[in-house]
Structure 1
Amino acid sequence: MLRVLYLVHDLSDPATARRVAMLQAGGAEVVLAGFRRSRESIPEIGGVRPVDLGMTHDGRFAQRLAAIARAKLALGTKFKHIRKPDVIVARNLEMLALARRLRTQFGSDVPIVYECLDIHRLLLRQDAAGRAMRMAERRLGRAAALLITSSPAFLREYFEPRGQVDAPVLLLENKVLELSDMQPASVPNVPPLGEPWKIGWFGALRCRRSLELLSAFTRRMQGRFEVILRGRPAYSEFHDFETTVAAEPYMRFEGPYRNPDDLAAIYGAVHFAWTIDFFEAGLNSKWLLPNRLYEGCRHGAVPIAMEGTETGRFLTQQGIGLSLLEPSADALAVLLGSMDATSFAEHRARLSAKPTETWICGLGDCRALVARLAGLKRARAADALLEAAA
């Protein structure tokens, strides 16, 4: 059985549990280690008790760098009783730095995989700090035997033109992990008479501009549309998030949810999925294909994307969803204002016609991932034999 050491920047992120589940379903034994953004320790994920490297804070990169420095000093102690892995998968740049140090501890024959599902804004700055970060990524990336990323735009716009990581690439989209044959619930075809159309904005709530836009739009539409927010707000990006939302007449925040357990229920209660994110406009937000895109489409919510983004391009290629021409309440009113039962049914029909595999990651995908990782181990062993024979 392939033994994978998975290093993550946030143990409390639902994406961590999904990747652990995917690796386990594919037949790997997972050892998990990482930092956490929650104050409480994480007792277990997928039956795995993680190695806790300490707490870090969202949006405070200097604090994260200090935490990495402290963690490096403690690796010998924390991993003293951890058996040598076959592969190390490092989620994000800071974990790639720790993976390099751990490979020294475990042995140079352990391949490292760099999993990068977001391009941090510091890596895109044009000042000395940005250049230093990119230089660090290029240096650390030399150790990577494989790069895993989630959007073609990350390769096209960042990794390839800048030459950041010279390694084979595995495109692993942020699809919904489904390991059973359960069918999702469907959203209402049309709202009952007198009830509003509902837009769901779920997941990582970090975009102040989206909040302002949706606020202006729903007020303008005077109750014809309502916005439901669920997930984890990035409080560093908002001034008093809960109070702001509570003051909106046509928006409401219904707290966190369990992923994937609650996906069918929360998307089944809305008509549209808000997939727009201006958090890092023109950069990461323009290039990503977010979780909520696949989640919403899988569960029947018509996606709303921004024209000129990778998500908008994806919707155009698939012939589904709605694309907003400009980020304004006026433009959103033009896009949605004439929505009726007939047009909504047409959008739903196009969405329903797509193969389920467009949105989900199944058991076969899990096995393919673990097989790809196992191939790295075999390739490294073959290389070692050639070196010994030379």
Structure 2
Amino acid sequence: MAELLKLCPTSRYIKSLRQVRQAEWDILVTDQGCEESQQYLGVTRVDPHLFVVHRTPSDVFIFTAEQRPGWVSSISARSGVICQEIQRMRNLPERIATLVHEKLEPVIVQRSSHWIFEHQRASPPVSEPAPNITPFIATADQAPLAGRYARSHSSEAWLLPPDTPDLCAWVQAALGEWNGLAPERFPGVPDWSSRDAWLTQEELTLKAQIAEVERERAEQLDRLQKVEAELRSRLGVARESADRYERALLTAQSDELKQVVIRVLRELGFTVIDADDSASPDDHLEDLHIKDPEHPTWIALGEVKGYTRGAKTEGMTQFLRFNMRYTARTGRNPDACWYIVNQFAKRDPSTRQRALHGKDEDVNAFGAANGLLLDTVQLFRLLRMVRDGSLTEKAARELLRSASGRLDF
């Protein structure tokens, strides 16, 4: 069993077809038929794409290798057939002919009776013929003592009697033959000169070194897969965080947008007061009071707006009222008015047009009155520049404090 499992790169010993997903496999070596019945679970059949090597069990009189729904007859083995004359088949592939002549024929000629492979009539009979059995060796009247048949247009099964010696050699020969039928599934079987028993010491050493490299590669791949999984997990967490904070500059509306803007301005080093906290519920004034700690007397009034379409000029005209009310309360004029907008919030930010596109005269007039139109796309870029070190927090604050009109990078 162990030697048999070594013949293919991936192999597995099973006791039931239900232990595997058959679509993932290419070959089945078995002493059972291609149909498996289990109480309560019904019938499971070997998928037609699978190649099969049948070695008939020795403890049965009649063995059904395969019966498909619709076949007129089954592919079966029957024991107790008396025959002294054996017929060799011509034009067999060399590897099969060698195995028959050297392995199987010496066993067959020692028997007093034989297992033969034949078609057993189905009950009830139906219309589709079962595939023909091509013998490897036969009785004098052409009854196959071993052979093969086509399971589908791209797969076949080999039929071997129970006393077939050296099953590994037969499976190895089958793999070599099936390379011609399905080369993408059976890339070929190494010949004897590639087996360890016939390698030189130099070849064995190099083969061992290659195996070590393959082992190290597998370990590296396993390590890298774990690292990748950890990084992807962290990326998922970072993405969720960015959706709630940095990218919310580009997607949020209303109070959520205002809170995100406050957080970003504070990260840049500004002191920001939410003016709505101290205003009367029915008194709609500016949203923010923004200060720079390095310039204690400087203050900007901020209004944050989110739009699913383009920004509106009405947001700038509101500052006339904001300024008058602020001056009336404090006895001084604000140093700047920041109109902070997230426009076309449902669009890809890279495809959004400039804020108040086509309203340059209004924007310039707003700038002349110390107004700043600040698109959150630009605020996002400014935050990234500070994060990557291309701009200091102080420089970012200076840029915003000195800007007027529309801020564009």
Hey, which of these two has a bigger chunk of helix by percent? 1
Hey, which of these two has a bigger chunk of strand by percent? 2
- Radius of gyration: which is bigger? 2
Do they fold alike, i.e. is TM over 0.5? no
> What TM-score, normalized by structure 2, do the two folds share?
0.22
> What TM-score, normalized by structure 1, do the two folds share?
0.23
